Structure 1
Amino acid sequence: MYVGQASCIRCHQDQQRSWQGSDHDRAMEVASEESVLGDFNDSEFTRHGITTRFFRRDGKYMVNTEGHDGEMHDFEIKYTFGVSPLQQYMVEFPDGRLQVLTISWDTRKNEWFMVTPPDVPHERILPGDPLHWTGMAQNWNTMCAECHSTNLEKKFDLATNTYHTTYTDIDVGCETCHGPGSMHVEMAEGHSLFWDRHHGYGLEDLKGATASAQVETCAPCHSRRSPLHVNLHDGETFLDHYDPSLIEPGLYYPDGQILDEVYVYGSFLQSKMYSKGVRCTDCHNPHTLKLKYEGNRLCAQCHQPGKYDTPNHHHHTDTAATQCVTCHMPTNTYMVVDDRHDHSLRIPRPDLSDELGTPNACTQCHTRPEETNAWAAQAIRYWYGDKRPDDPHYGPTLLAAQLGRPEGVDLIRDLLRDKPPRPDIIRATAVQLLGQYGTQESDTLCREHLDDESPLVRAAATEALSDASLTTFVLEVAGQLNDPIRLVRFVAARRLVGAAAQLLNPKYKAALDKAIVEYRAGQDLVLDRAASHLNLAGLNFALGEELTAREELATAIRLEPYLTGPRDQLAELLQRAGGDPAEVQRLREEEVENLTRDSKLLPRNAPIHYRRGMLLYLLDRKQEAREAFESACELRPDSYDYWLALALLCESQGSWKCAYEALEKMHELRPEDPAAGSIMQRIQQTRAAEKEKSEE
């Protein structure tokens, strides 16, 4: 049980003094004279025609700003959130929601500014939008609280759409990292000469833990992940409780560099440091959170200064450029003012930047017109020679597979056979990408990794394996239901539920039932989010519970009405069940409106255009559908499915030139696939019939 940090402080005063004032200590605080850093002396901030005023009233910190209804209201600031380089402020609502203001205080410049999403920095975010400060994206209970408070229990009531969130400590306290302290306190207060030999000190042994165990202690809050199970402090591993994001487009660049807010874990897993047993506390003080040493002395703990901290290695003279982190841990800026280091600790590769569309540390600093990626690559070759220690780099392989290029499978095979092996997160990403090919060759590679020593890779192989041969697929994946790691069992259960009733061997039924229970429990952790109800809808549909599936989709729409996906799926289920055609039509039209909105916000996102085209086709708006498919094909010319959709639509319109061009692209991408030939033959027969009819 959790006992609260006051119980820890009685004995561990030195650690408490170190922790006090740290970012963990100040992760969240009650708004007070001591905690509030922003200017609340009738200061104003104007953006997009909305003037927000910060002031004091009766000793309380107040803000007058636009509410969820579009009107100006006075709100009390109940809590501060964070401390450096920005501090945010939170408002509590009667339904238990705590919402984080997007107008924040820059603690370095001492001025108000607005935290804006990178995709829409210059647009006004309207009330009702999830990105508005009153929307889901700024909701503390589900987006922030778990990593800013200790022993958080969300306690969301789905029926009333309210929160009753609680925590043991308001901030990141001792038990966040060390685990519940009741046994430790009980043993310490027993005044025995010895600790219990069965339980040690009654806490997680972080100092003596392996490097991976210590990193996994930090990972729950310093990673991009989805929850699977509660309470990591029970002797299980990170992957028993969380599903970390892999190297996915939009989150990472194809070479694994950070792009979106992915925090640290996924980057650090890619590093040579992690593979050599370096842990978080080798660089960071675990209580103050400060670096153990300033400048290059930090790296000199392991790397000889005479070899690396010299112009013979870095070839620069100004102080900033001679710092190890400048080249090997470049920063990306988040929340407008927060520069965060990439923890993959990589070698700069300007020679790959043009091919992959990736940044590099060289041209992040050297920005004159003549200082191109090619210029930087030539300089590195001149300094270090042509041989690169990280070649062949995995970036080109991941990009080829992400784009569905035919050579992707062969490249992945080579990557998976590399010696020494690539980092687990890279191998898992490569294996998961095999799933989009669905060929005998890609399936063979997946099967080879169902029993990989890495659970991350096993989960990816389970996810990617094709179910084209259903009986074989069931037998292969069923064994994963007994995997010792919960993440693998989750994926196996999700893949198998649709085949459970007809094909699963009875000896696996108990394991499947148990895995499904685990899966449902994982979704219950985030019932305030539409994604969980989408997952539950898929599960219930696979189990033949279509009415429950429709109810889950309706709940997803109720919780996040702006989200694309639920309406389309609900319309399909209603149509299957012979539901009201008018309701099906309404759902699809609303879905198209949302997709049209998204296509304007993210005009370079090909899948959005493709999904919009598919729905427009179902609504018999064929010309609009064609334009959407053409946009998708232009953005992703390597997508066979996009060209197939365009070819079929042009065929239905009798637009033969467009259809032929799409079929040629399909043939280029998959020369052995018979679909293009079949469509071409059908078009030729149609045209011949039309010609014969016109000659009569």
Structure 2
Amino acid sequence: MFKRLTPFKQALCLFSLFFCLKLSAAQLDDAAYVGAQACSGCHQQQYQQWQQSDHHKAMQEVNPKSVLGDFSGATVRFHNIESRFYQQGKGYFVDTLDEAGKANTFQIKYTFGFHPLQQYLVEMENGHIQALNIAWDSRAKEQGGQRWFHLQPDESITPEHPFFWTRYFQNWNTRCASCHSTNIVKNYDAQAHSYKTTWSEINVSCEACHGGGAKHIELAKGGKLGDIDNGFIAAIPPPLSWQFTPGEAIASPLVAKQGKASAAPINSNINMCGACHALRTPLTEKVGGEDFHNANRLQLLSDGAYYLDGQIREEAFVVGSFLQSKMHGAGVTCSNCHNPHSGKVLIEGNGLCAQCHQPEVFDTPKHHHHPEGSKGAACVNCHMPERTYMQVDDRRDHSFTIPRPDLSRTLQVPNACTNCHDGQRGKNDAWAGEQLKTWGIKPAATHWASLNARSQAGDVLVTRGITRLLDEANSPAIVRASLLQGLAAFPSRVSVEAAQKNLQDKSPLVRRAAINSLQALPADARWQLLSPYLGDESRSVRFQLAETMADLMPQLTPEQQAALLPLIDEYRASLAVSADSPAGQGAIAQLELNLGNIDAVEKAYLQALRIEPNYVPVLLNLADFYRSANRDADAQELLQRALDVAPDSGAAQHSYGLLLIRKGDLAAALPYMKLAVEQDDATARYAYVYAVALDELGQTKAAVNTLVKATKRWPNQYDLLMTLVFYLEKTGNTFSIYQYISQLTAIAPADPAVKQLVEKYTR
């Protein structure tokens, strides 16, 4: 049995974007790429800084200098699997289990990263490069380092587990290569499920960020370098300069006097750095060189990677956090704080923040209320709290928020105060909130996190609150987009009007979310509202249109089909970029399903399972596809496998219960339905179906109890409330009915059934 793997977790890369790599077995002969050494003559300072950076040290061929781990015959045991690390001649080896569960010997070809951990890569058959999930903790011994450790200590890892080192989630070619190498080309052969991956350099070099340097060198030699044409794929303007205005505690951009600060430096930095420092789906194979949203689909804050208030939860990296920040809104960008060549911050300590925040105002006990020089006096510890990934890798949140212990109490999100004082007697969230009050710090009356929480709980009454926030011009685009996307679950006149108003927003994130929120509209209305935007300048927006409109194709006129088909073809070609991932094949299957190409649907799902046989989202989706084709025997096999892999998956439990109901065994289905409701990924629908099943088996009182709990977890749900009222009547428990009728009146006042209940119980 395995611990539950959520679809989100399965979509995460297991490796830190802190590390970057490049293989040397099949170097790419590309005249546009000249190598970092060619840059060193004219850019000595930048070259020397880069040589000391994480990028430069990211991956190396194994040798006594590059290998940090103990290969002296060290034997370790994790998950009842013994592994031995040793040297033989000049080679480095590990004896461990292979994909068949048999003891085998593997040669280590490359080191991967160096601090705070180092991983090791093994070259397998068919061009697959796999990363061991036993890593070396390269921190100092007094910090707990200098030891072997497992990257997934809480999972029950066996050769069948999706996180076993020989399987998809530990594959370098698809999981890491695009951001851990220079000029990577995967060259994936779907039929053979093989790679002939090529690259330019072994690490993340100059051209990984700037693009091929051949033309730049040619222009430089000819004395033709200019501000407009410097020979690179995109000119990188310097970051905005900042100055203090008399009487102001926070600096402003120099250009602010002449109008709004230019977005060029901000966007250019995000375009260059963002693709490899964001949780995103690539839309093109090449990394960098164009607008971030034209090349990537950024994961929004409501998609599971973040806490309800936008703090990092899973490995969401940096961009999604930074786009929430007041810093980004003011014009701050990556290179205002980071040296892009060394990777280090420009100034250590509070001096970094003092570039724009007057230290006599902010770097004093009057502001931070801690002793000078203490951990609590460090700006980053309050406004950029750390979260640990990969067991030892501490990463800071880049949303630059003010601690909100009040939100911790109501929404169970973390806050910097109790994070730091964790374990200290009496110093809990309530204590932290009181401390802020005594310091004169009053939290804002409202916070978008409350709307996000209600939206994710399916509360239909949140719609107007979201629409009001959407009208606030100072709300970050990523926040507006995340909430707007949630309106897809609440189709109404109000939500449609809100989406329509945002279809022309300047942010691609907001436009994309507006389109997504209209997916439930009838075909005619969808075409009428969305067809004018088929030529949107951003790929991420256009491809959202393709997803949302693909199922309209069979219903459209020939002229309308001709207008939509080029976009469908463009989107299909983009999906090929991720065709070596189960999620990518799942997206292909969904597109073909919407288009009615049934054979292509099954083909894509089966290819996904060839890539990763135990990828739960595809197991469930293919099972549902077989259900629709009256192939329940095939569906049952897949659902059983999903339960074996993810017994804590509510979706798997619910789907298996439904299968048993279709087979006529309601009693056997009941335990699965019950388990489904109890899981973290449960939905209101699971509770509704479970309650109906209980009632069918004569357990109406148990059904009532289930629905009462469900209405607290998922408030203002019509089906839950109406069914609860019906069962309360059935059990004669009418004295409890009034509160639920009141809720029904609030969410559906014009509904005939609700009106009938009101009339019945108020006369």
Find the aligned partners of 2:668 and 2:720 in 1 and give their Cα distance.
24
Letter paired with 1:589: E
Q: How does 1:338-357 map to 2 (within 5 A)?
A: 338-357=393-412
State the 1:264 CA deviation: 0.6
Tell me what 2:427 maps to.
Answer: 371
Find the aligned partners of 1:660 and 1:364 in 2 and give their Cα distance.
39
Letter paired with 1:195: L
Q: Is the 8 A contact 1:216 1:238 kept in 2?
A: yes
Q: How does 1:126-205 map to 2 (within 5 A)?
A: 126-189=158-221, 191-192=222-223, 194-195=224-225, 199-205=229-235
Tell me what 2:42 maps to.
Answer: 11
Tell me what 1:690 maps to.
Answer: none
CA RMSD in angstroms, aligned pairs only: 2.8
Query: What's the TM-score once normalised by structure 1's chain length?
Result: 0.90
Find the aligned partners of 2:90 and 2:711 in 1 and give their Cα distance.
72
Q: Is structure 2 residue 381 aligned with structure 1 residue 333? A: no
Match of 1:623 among 651, 667, 671: 667
Letter paired with 1:264: V
State the 1:45 CA deviation: 2.3
- How many aligned residue pairs are there? 669
Q: Is structure 2 residue 370 aligned with structure 1 residue 316? A: yes
Tell me what 1:479 maps to.
Answer: 532
Change (3 A) 1:276 1:360: same
Letter paired with 1:151: N
Q: Is structure 2 residue 585 aligned with structure 1 residue 533? A: yes
Find the aligned partners of 1:250 and 1:74 in 2 and give their Cα distance.
39
Match of 2:281 among 204, 207, 226: 226
Q: Is structure 2 residue 615 aligned with structure 1 residue 563? A: yes
Q: How does 1:70-149 map to 2 (within 5 A)?
A: 70-108=101-139, 109=141, 110-117=145-152, 121-149=153-181
State the 1:69 CA deviation: 2.0
Find the aligned partners of 1:333 and 1:93 in 2 and give their Cα distance.
30
Q: Is the 8 A contact 2:57 2:114 kept in 1?
A: yes
Tell me what 1:692 maps to.
Answer: none
Q: 3-state DSSP class of the match of 1:599?
A: coil
Q: Is the 8 A contact 1:405 1:638 kept in 2?
A: no
Find the aligned partners of 2:210 and 2:283 in 1 and give their Cα distance.
20
Q: Is the 8 A contact 2:616 2:645 kept in 1?
A: no
State the 1:449 CA deviation: 1.5
Q: Is the 8 A contact 1:44 1:52 kept in 2?
A: yes
Letter paired with 2:213: G
Cα displacement string for residues 477-519 of structure 1 (whole angstroms, at most 9, x for unaligned residues): 222321111111101111111112313572x544422211221
Find the aligned partners of 1:255 and 1:438 in 2 and give their Cα distance.
24
Q: How does 1:539-618 map to 2 (within 5 A)?
A: 539-574=591-626, 576-577=628-629, 581=631, 584-595=632-643, 597-600=645-648, 606-618=650-662
Cα displacement string for residues 65-93 of structure 1 (whole angstroms, at most 9, x for unaligned residues): 22222222221110011111111111111
State the 1:399 CA deviation: 0.9
Query: What's the TM-score once normalised by structure 2's chain length?
Result: 0.82
State the 1:249 CA deviation: 5.3
Match of 1:237 among 269, 278, 291: 291
Match of 2:700 among 656, 661, 686: 656
Gaps of 5+ in 1: 688-696
Change (3 A) 1:410 1:612: farther
Cα displacement string for residues 642-671 of structure 1 (whole angstroms, at most 9, x for unaligned residues): 333224323443433344556677889787
Find the aligned partners of 2:89 and 2:703 in 1 and give their Cα distance.
71
Change (3 A) 1:440 1:673: farther
Q: Is the 8 A contact 1:254 1:356 kept in 2?
A: yes
State the 1:344 CA deviation: 0.7
Taking every aligned residue pair, what percent have the same amino acid on both sides?
A: 36
Find the aligned partners of 1:294 and 1:670 in 2 and give their Cα distance.
48
Q: 3-state DSSP class of the match of 1:89?
A: strand
State the 1:351 CA deviation: 1.3
Q: Is structure 2 residue 76 aligned with structure 1 residue 45? A: yes
Of 478-487 and 497-506, more deviation after overlay is shown by 497-506
Q: Is structure 2 residue 88 aligned with structure 1 residue 57? A: yes
Find the aligned partners of 1:398 and 1:672 in 2 and give their Cα distance.
16
Find the aligned partners of 1:168 and 1:646 in 2 and give their Cα distance.
56
Tell me what 1:215 maps to.
Answer: 270
Q: 3-state DSSP class of the match of 1:479?
A: helix
Find the aligned partners of 2:653 and 2:206 in 1 and give their Cα distance.
48
Q: Is the 8 A contact 2:370 2:376 kept in 1?
A: yes
Q: How does 1:416-427 map to 2 (within 5 A)?
A: 416-418=470-472, 420-427=473-480
State the 1:678 CA deviation: 8.3
Q: Is the 8 A contact 2:404 2:415 kept in 1?
A: yes
Find the aligned partners of 2:584 and 2:357 in 1 and give their Cα distance.
46
Q: Is the 8 A contact 2:488 2:516 kept in 1?
A: yes
Tell me what 1:68 maps to.
Answer: 99
Q: Is the 8 A contact 2:281 2:297 kept in 1?
A: yes
Letter paired with 2:634: R
Cα displacement string for residues 34-91 of structure 1 (whole angstroms, at most 9, x for unaligned residues): 2111222222323334332221112111122222222222211100111111111111
Change (3 A) 1:107 1:677: closer
Find the aligned partners of 1:680 and 1:323 in 2 and give their Cα distance.
55
Q: Is structure 2 residue 53 aligned with structure 1 residue 22? A: yes
Find the aligned partners of 2:506 and 2:430 in 1 and give their Cα distance.
39
Tell me what 1:206 maps to.
Answer: 236
Tell me what 2:66 maps to.
Answer: 35
Q: Is the 8 A contact 1:567 1:588 kept in 2?
A: no
State the 1:261 CA deviation: 0.6
Of 634-643 and 450-459, more deviation after overlay is shown by 634-643
Cα displacement string for residues 160-209 of structure 1 (whole angstroms, at most 9, x for unaligned residues): 111111111111111111122222122223x23x3367624445322435
Q: 3-state DSSP class of the match of 1:44?
A: strand
Q: Is the 8 A contact 2:55 2:204 kept in 1?
A: yes
State the 1:412 CA deviation: 1.1
Change (3 A) 1:213 1:612: farther
Q: How does 1:320-469 map to 2 (within 5 A)?
A: 320-367=375-422, 368-386=424-442, 388=443, 391-418=445-472, 420-469=473-522
Q: Is the 8 A contact 1:568 1:588 kept in 2?
A: no
Of 334-343 and 445-454, more deviation after overlay is shown by 445-454
Q: Is structure 2 residue 259 aligned with structure 1 residue 259? A: no
Letter paired with 2:113: G
Change (3 A) 1:57 1:241: same
Find the aligned partners of 1:348 and 1:212 in 2 and give their Cα distance.
28
Q: 3-state DSSP class of the match of 1:490?
A: helix
Cα displacement string for residues 319-353 of structure 1 (whole angstroms, at most 9, x for unaligned residues): 22211011111100001111110111110111110
Q: Is the 8 A contact 1:45 1:112 kept in 2?
A: no
Q: 3-state DSSP class of the match of 2:395?
A: strand
